[in-house]
Structure 1
Amino acid sequence: MQVSVETTSQIERRVTFQVPAAEVDEAVEARLKDTAKNIRLNGFRKGRVPMSVVRQRYGRGVRDEVVGELMRERYVRAITEQNLNPAGFPSIEPKVDEAGKDLEFVASLEVYPEVELASIEGTEVERPVVEVSDADLEEMVETLRKQNATWEEVERAAEEGDQVKIDFQGFLGDEPFEGGSAEGHDLVLGSGNFIPGFEDQLVGAKAGEEKEIKVTFPEDYQAEHLAGQDATFKVKVHAVKGQTLPEVDEAFIKRFGVEDGDVEKFRAEVKKNMSREAKQAVDNRVKQQVLEALKKANDIPVPQALVQQETDALKRQAAQQFGLGEDFDVSQLPNELFSEQAKSRVQVGLLLAEVIKSNELDASDDEIRAKVEELAEQYQEPQQVIDYYMGNDQLKTQVKSAILEEKAVDKLLEQASVKDVEMSYQQALAAAQQGDQESEEGEGEEAKG
């Protein structure tokens, strides 16, 4: 077998194969003889059909079968012998496929890029320094109270923070528009769930009152036919409800897993969870900056096969997130909604893999268990979580990958200039969230480019 490899781009290879005619024809002849032993044709006993008849009737199909097997087998052998590292499946195309002639075929494939990491030295990384204060703790306890609040009807006019039960219908001019009406809708005033200006105009309304509300839809409103349009809503207020917050008592505390209802234990547990959340926010913010710097310093080509795999994974994730059901055909979702994010993820994955490889990073069983124990602290039955993870090789592999990624980020951080910035708990969470948004917007700008 003759093999030649042509480099058509940094990550694309074109491999040409030539298999001697005698080898192919012998394999076809042997397969035809095996076929002849088992076929039945009218007028012939089983296994007694003349070879001339077998060749005439089955020759093309048998040759296609043999040639397909040969091409796959020779391809697998060649990628090993030629030290090729394919990313995805090849496109294999026969060029010469005739009896008596050497078989020629071409395999076009993508390979993993060879990465020579460029340093991120000089990159400035802002690392939040956060301490959960007593004021932060009090605010979180209030948030938990509000999340568990009850609503009770009041006789007074609606105030911001109240819940109103309303019927409404929206009009563009004199015509009602689709999706602009509802009955018995509960709306918390000040929640920002409705169009800007809508909730404000219901402050002061009383049960039984009818109001006409005028608003303008935002220019970037998701329904294009409504974007920027002036609209009128006719609203009927059925009830005004005030919020009643629960007391921080034994019954309230037990809802959060503190079985003895002790208030100090509860506050300590809340603060512990907030500290863990703050650490995650800090780590994520630092990681975002490091990975962005890594991508900018290493603009490597990305195999389209890997991008498509990641795109499909993002589609499945989106379908699950929006509750589209397990039977939903994710191919209905357009690739362009996910392709840039997928490309970014693949690029980062390839670069981090090289950081891990070049620094010979690894994670021991003890480190994996410690990470699992850290994750398990978030659950009411941590030992069950630990046993579940440690008894599942796939989950352990995922945890190991997360540890290696953390170690890789720490290695990269050694090259950067790190500036500690004091932040409040809320500022740290907001900074991490803003970093996520900037990353998504950056991917969107890449798509435009």
Structure 2
Amino acid sequence: MATGEPRLSEKQEISIAHSNAWLNVWEGSIRSGKTVGSLLRWMEYVYNAAPGGDLIIVGKTFDTVSRNVFGPLTDPSVMGPAAKLVTYTRGASSASILGRQVEIVTANDAKAEGRLRGLTGAGAYVDELTLIPKEFFKRLVDRQSVEGAKIFATTNPDNPGHWAKKEWLNRADDLGIRSWHFTLDDNPALSAEYVARMKKAFTGLWYRRYILGHWVMSEGAIYEAFDPAIHVVDEVPPITQWLCDSVDYGTVNPFADLLIGLGNDGRIYVVSEYRHDSRAARRQMTDAEYSAARRRWLQGVAQPGTNILGVQPPWTIVDPSAASFIEQLHRDKVSGVMPADNTVLDGIRTIASLFAADRLRVHRSCAGLIDELPGYSWDDEKAEKGEDAPIKLEDHSCDALRYGIRTTEALWRPHIPTLLEVAA
């Protein structure tokens, strides 16, 4: 290997040398080297073997393509001197790779397959196959009509009933597909200390999938690492930065609002909770009443470590389906109102990692959240169908927690140790 090129493991070298099928898949645990191996093979394909026609890079969003694909492609420490021959502007619909134009196509919803119309595929690179819609991938395969066209894809494991596993990877021999399974030990760039930290950052389902690299069903409790003896506290340290109050809206169902801040000990704290259960109270509240109740609640919260009453968080994160309540907050001149990021699994995984690392704690006064967390469980019926989803029952404060943590991630992540970097 020439000086300046990345150091590769034996499995990476084998996968690069033998990925000559029409579909080649690098699958396995996080940070296992599958992305580097697949991208080096993609670069080699673009330069030496790709026939004339349209070359395509596919990802869920432009942000994920920029981070997961062009981050490594333009990094000399990963790609060596070839990194200088990759030109891409974040959010652009095309790039230049080794002198070839490559189309960037996002696939984040059921309508995405329309973006492939008119393409005459000569090759494609797919980032995170399991996040791509099923029909989009079928259309992508159909579009590789140029003789010799090949697809290269990466993915972390998912539910074993997922279409990518069931319809493609499980039929690899019959369909002429090549795949390689990677674990953390297959990445020579990782130190033993880093690997140990990663293994501590996950628990339960996420450990089995993202550390062991297994395709396993979701089952049992979602937040297996949650321990009231550790994560429920009577005292909250001084808050160095308020993150948000976060609302799961309900009229018939309970309304839950959590106040979340970053403590001076490097942990995130759920400091206080407002909750109204219309069934228990036998009284429904209007949007205006909820807005007024929220204001009174925040005015009465004591700032930890002080005698000061009243908190005005910079952001109010609201259930994105609660359009009428969002409008009411705007009318009441509440600043920083934002619809929540409702990517369920990403939010759950992040919170699970925070609990596992003891970087998220809850004040004992937050009774609704504390009651819900132990029983927050995976839906067995949906798991049988290949879907990962929580049971939609007694989850209102849990949803509010997910909204707040996920949506404010850019605020708290710089202050949380690198133990959690893989939870992004």
**What TM-score do you get using the length of structure 2 for normalisation?**
0.26
* Structure with max Cα Rg: 1
**What TM-score do you get using the length of structure 1 for normalisation?**
0.25
* Structure number having the greater helix percentage: 1
